[in-house]
Structure formats: C-alpha cells, structure tokens
Amino acid sequence: MNIKVLGPGCKKCHETDKLVREVIAESGSDAFMEYVTDIAEIAKLGIFSTPAVVVDGQVKLTGKVPTKAQVRSWLGK
Amino acid sequence: MLVAWWLIYGRLEPFAGWLAHHFAQYLSGYNLSPGNIEHLRSTVEFFVFEAPKVLMLLLLVVFGVGVIRSFFTPERTRKILAGKRESVGNILAALLGIVTPFCSCSAVPLFIGFVTASVPLGVTFSFLISSPMVNEVALVLLYGLFGWRIAAIYMSTGLIIAMLAGWTIGRLKMERHLEDWVYKIQAGESGVYDEERKSFADRVRFGLDAVRDIVGKVWIYVILGIAVGAGIHGYVPTGYLASIMGKGVWWSVPVAVLIGIPFYSNAAGIIPVVSALIEKGAAMGTTLAFMMSVVAISFPETVILRKVLKPRLILVFTCVVAVGCIIVGYLFNALI
C-alpha cells in the first residue's frame, strides 16, 4: 500500500503528515508513506486544496486534516 | 445555546456600565482629578463592553460562515467557475472567494487547478484577491470598532477591487506570463474524490471546527485591537496623525498603500494597528487603503506565486491591486 500526504508545507499539512505516520506506526501497517511538497507533483495529481491524502493513487481527502479513524479505515485496520 | 448567547449579549452593556461605575467609585479614594477618573472610567467601560461583544459576535459569525462553507469546497467552486465568461466569472469568483474555505498556503496548487480547468486567468485572480481580503473576521472587527457602515463599505469595495482587478488582468491577456511548466501539467481530474454527503450534524461540526480554528487564532488580536482602542479612547489628544494621514493630505493614500505592500498580516492582525491609527486622527479612507494593501498584497505571497507566475505578471498583479486600494482610499475619504 502506498500513501501520499500532499502539502506545500503549511501547518495543517505537517499535522496531517504526523498523524498519518502515527497511525501507520500504531497499527503496524506495512504501508509505504511519503510526504510530497513539490507543487508540480501535487498539481499533476489534480489536487488543489491541501493537505490531501492519496492512497494507492486514489484521492481520499483534500483540504483538511483527516481524523485517526479515517486514516485507519484507509489502511484497512 | 443561541438563547444563552442572546441573553448574555444583551446584558453586556449594562454590565460594563455597572463595572466601570464601581471602578470609578473605587478610584475616587485615590488622589486623582475628576477628569482623570472620568477618562479611566470610560476606558474601562469601553473595554469591558467592546471586548466580549466583539468576541461573541465573532463566535456567532464564524460559526455561521463555517456552516455555509461546508456547502462549498474548492473543487465545487472550480466546477462553477470553469468555462464562465469573463465578467460574470469575475463577479462570481469574488463572491465565491468569501465562502470557499481555503488556506493561503494552497494558493499555488489552487491557482494551477483553476487555470488548468479552463477557469480564465482573470477570474482566478478575482478569487485569489477576494478570498483573504473580504472575510468574516475582518467584517466583524470593523463592525465592532467602527460600526456597520464602515464594515459594509469595506466589504463592497473589497469585492469591487477583486472583480475589477481580475477583470483588468484578464483584459491584459497575460496568459503567456505563466511559467511554462504550468501548461505542461496534465492535471488529473480530481473528480476521483467524491465528497461524501454531509449531514446536518456534520455541517454543525464544520462550523464548530471553524470557530475553534479561527477564533482560537485571532482572539488575541481582537483583545489587543480593542485594548489599544480603549487605551487611547478619549485619552491621547487625537489629531496627532492628522497632519500626515489626515484627509487634507493628498499624498497620504498612495504612500499608505505603498508602505502596506511588503507587509503581510491576516485581516485580524492588522486591526490593532487600524484602531490605533484612527484614534490618532488618521483618515478612514487612508487607513482602510493601508489595511487592504497589507492584507491583499504581500512580499511572502508574491514569492509563493513566483513559482507559477513570471515576474511581469506579478508586477501587474501588484500594481493593479495597489491602484485599486488607492482608489478605494480616496473614495472613502471623499465620502466620509
């Protein structure tokens, strides 16, 4: 499983990054996670409100910080 | 909850009067002239009335706007604006700028998202200008400190600047002044992301989140703004600034706007400064032009936008908005 957190570096983006990392660690998921700050990269995915979370190429959330429960459900945990 | 809000709100003024009265009685035990006591009393009354009043209004309005915003997402706004004709598009974009939730840090992705979805460049700018400038916090604060007329004029002139500046940029045909890589992007359809249906409870939660988020961030500026206002309320001889920022000084508006350009603050943060300037005799138009220029144009923002805009377009954007602020300043000074 591949998870991308996208955000050019605002406060909420960092929060999202941290939260997703935490949930992955807590749940013992083997998901691979990356934090994308490159604007061209973000735009290519068709995302224009950040933070956004993409799981296996599918946009799950844009424009807000997810809840832990949401992240867990994406991880299938 | 609304009832409780209303009950407390209605009691604020008598409470402030009562408290200030007792404060004055307490002071009369000290060796102060009656004039001094009266000044202190009115300072305390102003603060004790205004600070909770404005904060309570802020809670209510931010909650209300939060609930309205739950109906709009940047994705939906883009869908509305895509393919709109210019003039209609500019008007819509400026209005949608008020209600679409978006954080200034995603200005660039949003910009690309709009432009690649065939939202005209000028229309995109209308949105980007109106969004930070015309917002509920600024309106509540202006209303609390200077009354509803000033708030209404600020809102309408802010919208007009956003519409006309965007329209002007559209007329100038600046499309080729975007960085080339922007056009190479094959923006994927973000239709992949289906907004889940929101229930009424979700919307209320959205509103409460907005309150926590926004009021949590700006309350300190509100208190500061009102404290500054109260501190010099009837105290410092006004007119101190009148000679350089007063109505009669024709060059004060452009100078105020130029000074405001490099600075950035959100609309709430600038309010303490505004209230101090006004109390010291600066003209309303000059001060509001300054406020608009601080909020709408800033050095950090142009650095961010530089990633997608060539220098020429940045220059045009800055100039067009600055001219808009200057016109508003003169207009205000002439009207009030």
User: pLDDT (tens digit, 9 = 90+) per residue, B277-321?
Assistant: 887 788 889 999 999 898 888 777 788 888 888 999 999 999 999
- Out of B23-27, B228-232, B233-237, B278-282, pick the least confident: B233-237
One-letter amino acid at B224 equals L
User: What's the total number of domains in chain B?
Assistant: 1
Is some CB atom of chain B closer than 8 A to the CB atom of A14?
Answer: no
Helix ranges restricted to H, chain B: 2-27, 34-69, 74-81, 86-99, 107-116, 121-133, 136-146, 148-171, 180-184, 200-210, 216-231, 242-245, 252-260, 271-279, 284-296, 299-305, 311-335
Nearest to B187 among A43, A58, A60 (CB): A43
pLDDT at B192 (0 to 100): 47
Q: Calculate the alpha carbon distances from A57 to A34, A77, B148, B231 in Å.
A: 13, 19, 49, 57
Q: Which residues of chain B lie closer than 8 angstroms to A12, CB-CB?
A: 103, 105
**Comparison of pLDDT for B192 and B311, the residue scoring more:** B311
- Is the model more confident about B284 or about B23? B284
Higher pLDDT, B184 or B147: B147
Nearest by CB: B188 against A8, A46, A63: A46
Specify the pLDDT at position B217: 83
For an interface test with B, which of A16, A49, A74 has the most B Cβ atoms less than 10 Å from its Cβ? A49
Structural domain span for residue B67: 53-181+204-335
Provide, as residue numbers in chain A, all residues whose Cβ is less than 8 Å from the Cβ of B193. Answer: 59-62
| Spatial distance between the Cα atoms of B264 and B284, rounded to a whole number of angstroms | 20
Indicate whether B235 pLDDT > 70.
no
**Domain-embedded: residue B34:** no
The two structure tokens encoding residue B313: 């377009």
Chain B CB contacts of A42 under 8 Å are: 109
Residues of A in contact with B108 (CB under 8 A): 8, 39, 43
Pairwise CB contact (< 8 Å): B103 & A50 = yes
CA proximity to A45, closest of B191, B73, B275 = B191
Domain ranges within chain A, ordered by starting residue: 2-75
Examine the pLDDT at B210 and tell me if it is beyond 90. no
pLDDT for position B187 = 54
pLDDT higher than 70, residue B232: no
pLDDT band at residue B195 under the 50/70/90 scheme: low
Please give the pLDDT value at position B135.
82
For chain B, what is the mean pLDDT?
A: 83
Tens-digit pLDDT profile for residues B54-92: 888 889 999 998 898 888 888 888 888 887 888 899 999
Query: Taking CB atoms and an 8 Å cutoff, what residues of chain A touch B73?
Result: 49, 62-63
Is residue B4 within 8 angstroms of chain A, CB to CB? no
> Does A45 lie at the interface with B, CB-CB under 8 angstroms?
yes
Position B143 in a domain? yes
Over 90: is that where the pLDDT of B203 sits? no
A68 CB within 8 Å of a chain B CB? no
What percentage of chain B reaches a pLDDT higher than 90? 18
Mean pLDDT of B42-53: 82
Task: Enter the pTM of the model.
Answer: 0.81
Q: Give the pLDDT of residue B189.
A: 53
CATH 3.40.50.1100 fits A2-75, yes or no: no
A25-52 mean pLDDT:
82
Question: Could A49 and B102 be called an inter-chain contact, meaning their C-beta atoms sit closer than 8 Å?
Answer: yes
Cβ pair B190:A63 closer than 8 A: no
* Predicted-complex ipTM score: 0.74
- C-alpha distance from A60 to closest chain B C-alpha (Å): 6
Within 10 Å of residue B171's Cβ, how many Cβ atoms?
Answer: 10
Q: Return the pLDDT at B105.
A: 67
At residue A40, the 3 state secondary structure works out as helix
Q: Which helix (H) or strand (E) holds A61?
A: strand A58-62
* Within-domain flag for B134: yes
pLDDT of amino acid B193? 52
Query: Is the pLDDT score of B226 beyond 90?
Result: no
